[in-house]
Amino acid sequence: MAPLSGIMWTGFAFQSLIFAFSSSLAWLWMLCRYLASPLKVFSFLMPLFGFSFGVLLLDDPVGLPFVFGALQVCQSLNLPSETSACGAR
């Protein structure tokens, strides 16, 4: 394992302090303004957004497992809206 350099520590500090803090602050702000149930979609879509930005910005390859997993996530978000607890719409 290579020793940690200054740029690695800078990246770690940015991710943990700046990005994590700002995203938590935005999440709490949205919870104060909106109901939690509609916002749950964002928590499921966050990994898809992260991977999509990796593809767009870093030219990461898109494989079949990601496509299959993304389709499953999208279907799981759509499933509760198609049925109710008693089966009637």
Q: What pLDDT is stored for residue 75 in this prediction?
A: 81
Question: CA 37 to CA 60: how far, in whole Å?
Answer: 32
Its pTM surpasses 0.85 = no
Write down the domain spans for the chain.
1-33, 35-89
Distances (CA, A) of 47 to 1, 67, 74: 28, 13, 12
Q: Per residue of the chain (89 residues), what is the pLDDT tens digit?
A: 777 788 888 888 888 888 888 888 888 888 888 887 777 777 777 788 888 888 888 888 888 988 898 888 888 776 665 555 545 54
Q: What pLDDT is stored for residue 87 in this prediction?
A: 52
Q: What pLDDT is stored for residue 80 in this prediction?
A: 63
Q: What pLDDT is stored for residue 21 in this prediction?
A: 86
